[in-house]
Amino acid sequence: MARERTLSEQAFEQFPQALIIVDREATVISLNSVAEHLTGWAQRDAAGRPAADILEVRTETGVNLCAPNGALRRALRLGTRINTHFAYLFRLRTSDDPVRVSYSVSPLRLKGKTPDGAVIAIHDVTPELETIEARDALMLAASHELKTPLTTLKGLSELLLDFDLTEAQRRELLQDLHGQADRMEKLIGDILAVSRIDSGRISVDFSRVDVADVVAHVGEEVHPMLKGRTLKCRVPENLPTVMGEARKLHQILVNLLTNAIKYS
């Protein structure tokens, strides 16, 4: 029994989620180190206090975990497990921002059917939500960027269809079409890379970038969209190379110029 108790205590302390054990009156008995970190309360200070003193976890509708109608009291009263997938944990002992969490309340029984207490498990879902937000932001940006080469492709194809061009002019337009198709292929590759995002950050392949060369190519790419407007690119002489990713810099500049052309 002593060995089993030791293993149980280790499992409780090393569990990757915040665990808080309360009695049938919702008084704190114990909490593990993750719960100490998340709530700001140490075990020695929290034990013996009402759970409401150390925990304020509210659902999106504002219901407090420890309120009379909250998940903790209902689990103790009904003897059933209650899960909530999204809530805010307010750090009562600090001025830190609320933490986005999910939680479950499971009744504990020593004898009989009536709960003698409950264990509250709280999981910080911030990393998962940040990954989802990063994915959505990338999808939105990629969708916006796809509009630029599509607009250019449409304009170039209209020139080929509507005007009597020389062979040299047709060849130049076809080369531009090929370049825009290549850019779309790269953008689609970026969209597919969304499935590989696992940290909420988009990786950058750093190398030396010739900014003047990137600016020149961007000017050539947006030129068909000018429609009578004038675009002048001024790059300082002897501009040194910078560390970055040429393709992403290219995308940013194209988006800026596209919006400038569209709304001017």
Among candidate residues 124, 154, 186, the one where a domain is terminated: 124
Structural domain range at position 95: 2-124
137, 222, 255 from 201: Cα distances, Å: 11, 29, 21
DSSP 56-113: EEEETT--BTTSTTSHHHHHHHH---EEEEEEEEE-TTS-PPPEEEEEEEEEE-SSSS
Q: Are residues 153 and 62 in the same domain?
A: no
Q: How far apart are the C-alpha atoms of 195 and 6, rounded to whole Å?
A: 42
Regarding whether 140 and 115 lie in a shared domain, the answer is no
Looking at the structure, tell me whether residues 52 and 174 fall in a common domain. no
Same domain for 153 and 56: no
Closest CA to 71 of 6, 26, 108: 26
Same domain for 63 and 23: yes
Task: Kindly state whether residues 154 and 42 are assigned to the same domain.
Answer: no
Q: Mark which of 124, 158, 190 sits at the end of a domain.
A: 124
- Look at residue 203 in the predicted model and tell me its pLDDT: 63
In the predicted structure, residue 95 carries a pLDDT above the cut 80 = no
pLDDT by residue (tens digit) across 104-130?
999 999 888 889 999 999 999 888 888
CA 59, 62, 63, 68 dihedral sign is positive
| C-alpha 159: how far from chain center | 42
Say yes or no to pLDDT of 200 above 60: no
Domain count, the chain: 2
Q: Please say which residue of 75, 96, 124 terminates a domain.
A: 124
Q: Please give the DSSP secondary-structure letter assigned to residue 226.
A: -
CATH number at residue 85: 3.30.450.20
Reply yes or no on whether the pLDDT at 198 is more than 60.
Answer: no
- Distance in angstroms (rounded) separating the CA atoms of residues 102 and 16: 14
Query: Do 141 and 235 share a domain, yes or no?
Result: yes
